[in-house]
A and B are shown apart, each in its own frame.
Chain A
């Protein structure tokens, strides 16, 4: 059964919530059931931020997760907080420019991508989340890359649409990293 329960976590400002919204939007375009639950309040303004995304073929029981099939982490505290939430056989993807500790889990797949460094080298540090989403999409098949592109067009304001070809380039780098 197709069920992706995804947690994305890091600092406010790293594009955590945008990443989650993009996945949910792309899932909607595939006629899947989707939910997106952000952390809110002071956390959004520089503290830790996280969101929970469910993409499923069946009606979603709860948007509130207590475990997940895939985890993207963009800082150390988030790895500590969520690493034990990942179900055996699941996936952890870390931004290794920001996360310097290693997970103790051995029953899951771990991918370390220096996303912040890659984004800085590319020339736009706001793309770091896209590298990680690329890996997620490649590993889980939660949404198709072409629908992710449509989601970018759907969510970004028109004045930012010029960035989308670059972002898709970055996504592909992440997918194949």
Chain B
């Protein structure tokens, strides 16, 4: 057991990245993730790292592209509107098969929207907000401790598969404080990075990092390689939490801070004699189909709860594939679903599925 600290989510992500060996950070400030940047600005120069506040989000993501090409562990972070600006770079980095970690502490949109928490960037994160047939691995922590653990893990996944990994949080997770345990020494896996463009001193062939392949036959092969990689990731890396699912009448599906609210709903429902369970996807890409298969026969229905108009619910419907009814409830624009909002929907579903 290492140190036990009361820390803000955003700062924990930064500390975890540093402990994971990240020494390069490029970003541009935006509420509600700016504390992450502050922390990096304070710490990185003291430990031989590079912190740069870029002139824009577009510049920051391209600095990430450059640093990642050299095989260094690199991170950027932003919130929804800033992540939209980074999409071109994300597509290029993904096309060039480079490992990098990006954090989105989501706020309400579209456009500049507001600064309150939201989950309305699910599509952008999991389906590819940039162009081309690419995916990032998307991790959805639900507590400050998980922000720590998953940030460390994000770097390992990124290096293991040469892929961009996104931490998808929201304003609640970024701003809240909880107790976090840092391990004394982070066990960082080491990876062979013989692909890196980091100077060959005439001792080997030079490495080329690019996303351009003008011959369609070559580009198709390149894409087939991507798809095989995503298949492998889906086999190896699906993560989820099943909570209270044994003989649950309805199983809630929620990620991030909304999953926490759903746990409160489950407690309240139990007091009224209603048995609810929860599937909490921890990886949003790959979507944790395996978790659903484990509990598919149990409930009468699934209820997806999101801070959006209903985005993850599409993946839930694809996974359930008509075997059970799938319902949705959510709030938008920075409003957080209340226990009452969710209980009202639960009662409606009970009435419909007598």
B340 at the interface (CB under 8 A from A): yes
Does B176 count as interface, using CB distance less than 8 angstroms?
yes
User: Chain B residues with Cβ under 8 A from A77's Cβ?
Assistant: none
Q: Is the CB of B178 within 8 A of A35?
A: yes
The residues in B between 168 and 185 inclusive whose CB is less than 8 angstroms from any CB of A are 171-172, 175-179
Known contacts A40-B115, A41-B31: does B338 contact A21 (CB below 8 Å)? no
A47 is an interface residue with CB less than 8 A from chain B: no
Compute how far the CA of A35 lies from the CA of B173 in the bound complex, rounded to whole angstroms.
11
CB distance from B258 to the nearest CB of A (A): 9
User: A63 to B267, Cβ gap below 8 A?
Assistant: no
Q: How far is the CB of A47 from chain B (nearest CB, A)?
A: 12
Is B43 an interface residue, CB under 8 A from the partner? no
Contact of A40 among B175, B178, B339 (CB under 8 A): B175
User: Which residues from A are CB-within-8-Å of B263?
Assistant: 61-62
Contact-size category for B: 20 to 34
* Residues in A whose Cβ lies below 8 Å from that of B4: 28
| B264 close to chain A: CB less than 8 A | yes
User: Please, what's the 1-or-0 string for B275-318, where 1 marks a CB less than 8 Å from any CB in chain A?
Assistant: 00000000000000000000000000000000000000000000
Which B76-125 residues have a C-beta within 8 angstroms of A?
115-116
Is there an interface contact between B115 and A63, defined as CB atoms closer than 8 Å?
A: no
Residue of B at shortest CB range from A66? B338
Which residues of B are found within 8 Å of A37, using beta-carbon distances? 172, 175-177
CB within 8 Å for A36 and B177 given contacts A21-B6, A28-B4, A66-B339: yes
Contact check: which of A28, A34, A40, A61 meets B264 at CB < 8 Å?
A: A61
Q: Which of A28, A38, A61, A62 has the most CB atoms of chain B within a 10 A radius of its CB?
A: A62
Tell me, rounded to whole Å, the shortest Cβ–Cβ distance linking A38 to chain B: 6
B340 touches A35 (CB 8 A): no
* A163 neighbours in B (Cβ, 8 Å): none
Question: Are the C-beta atoms of A40 and B32 separated by less than 8 Å?
Answer: yes
Of residues 36 through 54 on chain A, the ones whose CB sits less than 8 Å from some CB of chain B are 36-38, 40-42
Chain A residues in 8 Å Cβ range of B175: 37-38, 40
User: Does B260 have its Cβ within 8 Å of any Cβ on chain A?
Assistant: yes
Q: With A35-B178, A38-B175 in contact, do A28 and B6 touch (Cβ < 8 Å)?
A: yes
Q: How far is the CA of A129 from the CA of B177 in the complex (A)?
A: 20
CB of A11 within 8 Å of the partner chain:
no
> In whole angstroms, how far apart are the Cα atoms of A100 and B261 in the complex?
34
A170 proximal to B (CB < 8 A): no
- Name which residue of chain B comes closest to A154, CB basis: B6
A34 touches B6 (CB 8 A): yes
- The verdict on A9 contacting chain B, using a C-beta distance below 8 Å, is no
A-contact bits for B30-59, CB 8 A (1 contact / 0 none): 011000000000000000000000000000
CA distance A22 to B239 in the complex (A): 35
Cα(A38)–Cα(B176), bound, Å: 7
Q: Is the CB of A40 within 8 A of B31?
A: yes
Looking at the assembled complex, report how far the CB atom of B117 sits from the nearest CB atom of chain A, in whole angstroms: 9
Residue contact B339 to A63, C-beta cutoff 8 Å: no
Could you tell me the distance in whole angstroms from the C-beta of A25 to the nearest C-beta in chain B?
5
Shortest beta-carbon distance, B192 to chain A, in Å?
40
Chain A residue nearest to B260 in the complex (CB): A62
Q: How far is the CB of A148 from chain B (nearest CB, A)?
A: 14
| Residues of chain A contacted by B336 (CB below 8 angstroms) | 64
A142 within 8 Å of B by Cβ? no
Q: A24-B6, A34-B6, A40-B31 are in contact. Are A61 and B260 (CB under 8 A)?
A: yes
Closest to A32 in B: B179
Q: CB < 8 Å: which of B31, B179, B257, B266 contacts A64? A: B257
Residues in B whose Cβ lies below 8 Å from that of A40: 31-32, 115, 171, 175
14 A-B interface contacts by CB (under 8 A): A24-B6, A38-B175, A38-B177, A40-B115, A40-B171, A60-B178, A60-B260, A61-B266, A62-B257, A63-B176, A63-B178, A63-B260, A64-B172, A66-B340
Give residues in A with beta carbon < 8 Å to B.
21, 24-25, 28, 33-38, 40-42, 60-64, 66
- Residues of B bordering A, CB below 8 Å: 4, 6, 31-32, 115-116, 171-172, 175-179, 257, 260-261, 263-264, 266-267, 336, 338-340
Shortest 3 CB-CB distances between A and B: which pairs?
A61-B263, A61-B264, A36-B177
